[in-house]
Structure 1
């Protein structure tokens, strides 16, 4: 919008100043300062814009935006209220990698007052949450300034993992934001599209590097004690990965540091289909103040756009000196690891969830532990998982200091749940003894499990229209439908066979959304007489990134187009017959008999008509009543 600029000094003001200058020779008119100009513009009910070369203030008319006190729900005033920060760099993630990805959200309009801001992040196929933070609350107005951005920015942080077989490409990540205007109870929803670049297994074999395991050389690491960290790095691809650097991060002198060694190991090459074990000598600080310490493992190599990262958790006993403060610390239970059998579970198919729980205390035994597993409800479901053949609660008699236990439960995912990540909450209630007194404790942990729906892509029977003639095109049709709840990706249809050719033997369809259907039509030509056999192939990627092929066979017989020649309408030359042919005699006989029958029919009809007429006349001869 063009702003109307008005010069500070009106003609009258300018004339007055000029008169003062003429009346007082040698007196210079001093230009106004910026503060004076701002004050002047404010008195005029306008906004200060700038000072011109002569020191005059340039004011602009104030632009106001009227915000209705009670706008209609689902109807933003000026389109979207929120947007991604301009110039925001698209984040990247490698196949098989887990990392925290940030989405900076700002206001798209200058004067909007909102409250109750909540964002729901939806991930496409191939990505899932490894922590349940797909729904978050935020407030742009109250955010602290971030040096990376200008102005108020709300940073949405999502803990995202990419499946090990994720394909390369940039995917859309819809962020549904729900908010209210101040003083209005009607929620409004809008969607901001963010993007993530996936470096998949198909882009470079080096991107298939995996951190398969890590471990410590002892179960109980004490403050001030040296220990070794072992890391296993795997290259499952068919090509060697060169110039591999493995780095341990988040090291400090107050927590954990390297023990006479550097924090990075270099491998000139990691051969194809091989695993390398690396050992890092470390030492825990004597002054460590937290039992649980997190280290960051980072791997780089030629061909990898961004580092492959993983988090390592070390449990350090703070009671190396037997101090009373350490001995009196309350124990805590954490989930050391959990496994559900793959990258995602399938709706309607039970699975085993295995978890390992650890007592982080170095000197206190946890007793009479009760664990309760409960599915976390979302906006659509009351929870996606239910136990199949057992209770959702378990009892454990005790867990020793720094000890761990394993527990499994069989769960059934909802068959009609939307494909996404769902949370499970594990609540712990336990007892412990400090200074001879029995204490009670409780804590809660939460994990996230991605759910997919079973593949229900169905292909109908092949329809062939009419007979197949050699050298002529014949049409083949086949229908397909995606009855599943997940989108199938990169659908490609092809036809092949014997004694036949097709003008377009391959067709790329792309993605087929849930509930969508269509048909495939192709014309084939038989090469020669005889059997024609073929099959139509449907190749696509399911929700888990696996390639699926569905085949439909067809067969028919090809025939030649051999027709008898048309005799035409030629009339033969008349010839003098030597005698009446048999067919002529028969024809004459038929005509004669037909004529006799026709004459007889006419005579009989006339006689009947005459008889009826005579009867009618005889009725007229009877005397009428009264004669």
Structure 2
């Protein structure tokens, strides 16, 4: 019977194995003999829902989740993203998630899964739809072989909001004129980014410094700027000074800007412009002995704002800075057609018969401004020829600059620009944790075009300046050309701010007449921003309390005693180098200053210093002064007044009050009550009696225990 059961058992096992092999045979991925890798015909991984558009913008990172399934179960060893010929780069890893779970899985079946990954879109990506795919390295569960398959259909990703490369322009050049040797000033100008990409690694250089003119100040000749955001601007300031050896005249300075127009660019773009500084210097005989020189000074233009298509009068003084007279002076404007100026007369040159040493003549030219003139700074070049008394001929070339040129046609073709023309934070300093009213004026600098549908957004790093109520954005319907609108918003300064300047960014998004409508719905028109640096003072809240003179007993005159006090930092920032001292005519401190150290925000402790009262039987008065520094090293003092009653030292003035017999140790020693041997016998008897009693008690307890044991047995 046992043998039959064994045969039945083995037969059952054989049938089960055959059934399993037969049922699963259709899903086995067969391997080819020559390559050792499995064919992919049996496994198909496909996207289950491609109805949702995947939209990304240049220069951003986007998280993407794609629903996928497989026609059969398959283990996944590795997943790769195929991004060839696309502006995308995989950021991190690509993972496969099972529906309803957040942990990555290593297999896929006909149950809903999600292919998740993040991609970085290049800042220079063009608008359009791009296709990416995923490659799966799968494992055959039966033959332990590997094979590769891809998604049945590609993943389509649409790029919108194409950006334009950064393009910097140099505008609003300002510098004090007519300075004398030793004078200092700032050469300031603005860099405007006309593109929507950020200009990176910006290097600004000013050249043209010389010992006979202008010299650089503390900032040197070069400044570096990390980044100028798209459609943003940056104000640059170079300190300059007039050399002690400066010679009167116009000193030309060249401003050069070098930058990366896009983060992916390998070459740098440049922008260059020139300006001039009028200097009133000195002239020496040794300087002019080498050659005869004529100096141009006091350049004037009428009108002060020349307009394209209208007339312009340019005049200047031509001074003979030599020790000799010069003769037959001819002044001729050259290359006018290239500078967009044309002479009103057919013979624009001027002739001067003689200029005596040290004297000047005024030269004036009537010109017409071309319709194609460039706005801002322009220049006119003059060729000057002259002779000395011996007939030797000299020649020189000078440049005269024409500033503030306006071209209405060029403005019409431009765009309106919104700027913060003025702002205020109130009369008091901004302190951490407090609220203030931020008032500012928004000005449209364009002379013809209005800015419409304006969205204004205020933001700051780490929410340093937070809106107390409502949203940080508001809307304006329109700001007409040349007009200004005033706004006020209540802000709160972050409580843990330390003393320094914090940036407040104000961004404008707006439209204007004639602007090109964006191709995508994501863009909202032109975006520009300004950043204001607001100085914030940290809100230190040190507290001194519980000043007690005489820590352990009543203070007495001329007797050192302890003085305890509590010091706590109730603010949100660290207090540095805290010390304590007293100022008083009633007390003197053993140690002039007690060093407490740095006190963290919210921390504190009790401290003690030793003082000696100098008065008696009165309320002594003193001032405890605690000194600390903030994060910028600024020192502050907290004076706290205290009082304490001082007793006089008790002295024995009446000799009768003292009884010498009170402390008399003389006399015989008292006799004992009993003798020593009797005391010893008594102790021995008491000991033996105690031992007997204890033995008796122990035997009694033991017998009681035995009786109870016998009773339990019965």
Structure 1 length as normaliser, TM-score?
A: 0.39
